[in-house]
Amino acid sequence: MAKQQRVVIVGGGVIGLLTAFNLAAQVEHVVLLDRSGVGQESSWAGGGIVSPLYPWRYNLAVTALAHWSQDFYPHLAQRLLAETGLDPEVHTTGLYWLDLEDEAQALAWAKREGRPLSSVDISDVERAVPVLGAGDYSRAIYMAGVANVRNPRLVKSLRAALQAMPNVTIEEHCKVEGFIQKGEKILGVKTAQGERLADHVVLAAGAWSGELLSSLGLELPVEPVKGQMIMYKCAPDFLSSMVLAKGRYAIPRRDGHILIGSTLEHEGFDKTPTQSALESLKASAVELIPALAGAEPVAHWAGLRPGSPEGIPYIGRVAGVEGLWLNCGHYRNGLVLAPASCHLFADLLLGREPIIDPRPYAPEGRI
């Protein structure tokens, strides 16, 4: 691709930010538009586990992106820290799954995929994670090397890196209202602040992507799926590992904050935190970590995931509409899959050899 190309990215979450980060050195100008503030929706609200919650239950297309990203995240964090002084805090703790119904399937998947997942005795879990209510569980599996990223800080560091690039423009509170179209070609987008022209328009608007694409008469099956979480403040060494049981998880940050999540609700675009979810999450927290029984959460919030069929994102060119691209629909795994998704996207837009087979993510035939 010629370097004089202009790219407009619609959506300033981690997917949009990292797409801009990967393209900026190769194109003339990148304009990143967000309807509110960058990274304030799903990217801010997630837990940041750098693994799908149950990786063996996913389509191989999701697994391929996850594996690449897991290996790449430490390098990305080091680069962002060096460039911006803001640490995304990729915190490697390992992850325990307790009393899995499909443990045999998980272990078979790990053997087939060459992942370091193994069965461990529950007494070993009690010794490794003494605050865990392990006496209430009988079986455990453990994957070493699984990290979590402090997603609000990842957003801040990506934003700072982009702001330091002279050919990147970030426009917040700039809602895209439609596309500028001539025949079968997209020439840019219409916003409340005026038109933004481009050689390529990238739709990376998370849960809002389907609504935007519908203005072109295209049906993209991406819908909002609400998730609520709570957070406690504990000592930095309180919880040594991530833990997952009965669909709920505990994530330790380096400074002692513990995240408990999450709900899965189909409530449209309503992201109001509810008392019922708060009580449910508190009960899960105490079940996982009995020492939290007397503690009160320091925060409770909700976000909207971009739900998609099988959680397989849409990455690539929209067939029949020249100049329009998708990088969206990551469902529960946007933070996990972002490095691979955005590298693959840049490969496709720039005409490079793709890092993995792009066919499972192609919009063609799926919308």
Distance from C-alpha of 88 to C-alpha of 359, rounded to nearest angstrom: 31
**Segment 317-339 mean pLDDT:** 97
pLDDT of residue 28: 96
User: Which residue type does 142 have?
Assistant: Y
Q: 341-359 pLDDT, tens per residue?
A: 999 999 999 999 999 999 9
Alpha carbon distance 220, 166 (integer Å): 34
The CATH classification number of 95-144+223-307 equals 3.30.9.10
Query: 58-69 burial, b for 16+ CB within 10 Å, e for fewer?
Result: beebbbbbbbbb
Per the structure block, which two tokens stand in for 40?
Answer: 């304030």
The overall average pLDDT reported for the chain is: 95
- Would you say residue 1 has pLDDT above 60? no
The count of C-alpha atoms lying within 13 angstroms of the C-alpha of 138, restricted to the half-sphere facing its C-beta, is 2
> For residue 93, is pLDDT > 90?
yes
Q: CA–CA separation, 316 vs 359, rounded Å?
A: 9
Mean pLDDT lowest for which of 113-122, 128-137, 172-181, 191-200?
128-137
Q: Is the pLDDT of residue 98 over 70?
A: yes
Percent share of the chain, pLDDT over 90: 96
The confidence score (pLDDT) of residue 134 equals 65
CA 29 from centroid of its chain's CA atoms: 25
List the one residue out of 255, 266, 278, 316 whose CA is nearest residue 61.
Answer: 316
What pLDDT is attached to residue 309? 95
**What integer pLDDT is reported at residue 3 of this predicted model?**
64
Give me 219's structure tokens.
């049906």
Asked if pLDDT for residue 77 goes beyond 90, the answer is yes
At 218-262, the pLDDT tens digits run 999 999 999 999 999 999 999 999 999 999 999 999 999 999 999
Residues 367 and 364: their CA atoms lie apart, in Å, by 7
Rounded CA-CA distance 128/318 in Å is 49
Return all residues near 194 (Cβ < 8 A) that are at least 6 apart.
none
The domain segmentation of the chain, as residue ranges, is 6-47+153-221+310-361, 95-144+223-307
CB 266 within 8 A of CB 229: no
pLDDT at 94 over 60: yes
pLDDT band at 133 (very low <50, low <70, confident <90, very high): confident
Ordered DSSP codes for 210-253: HHHHHTTT-----EEEEEEEEEEE--TTS--SEEEETTEEEEE-
- Note the pTM of the prediction, 2 decimals: 0.96
Do 6-47+153-221+310-361 and 95-144+223-307 agree at the fold level? Answer: no
Minimal CA–CA distance to 242: which of 145, 361, 340, 120?
145
Choose which CATH entry (3.40.718.10, 3.40.630.30, 3.50.50.60, 3.40.1030.10) describes domain 6-47+153-221+310-361: 3.50.50.60
**pLDDT at 350 (0 to 100):** 96
Confidence (pLDDT) at 212: 95
Q: Looking at residues 302-331, what average pLDDT do you find?
A: 97
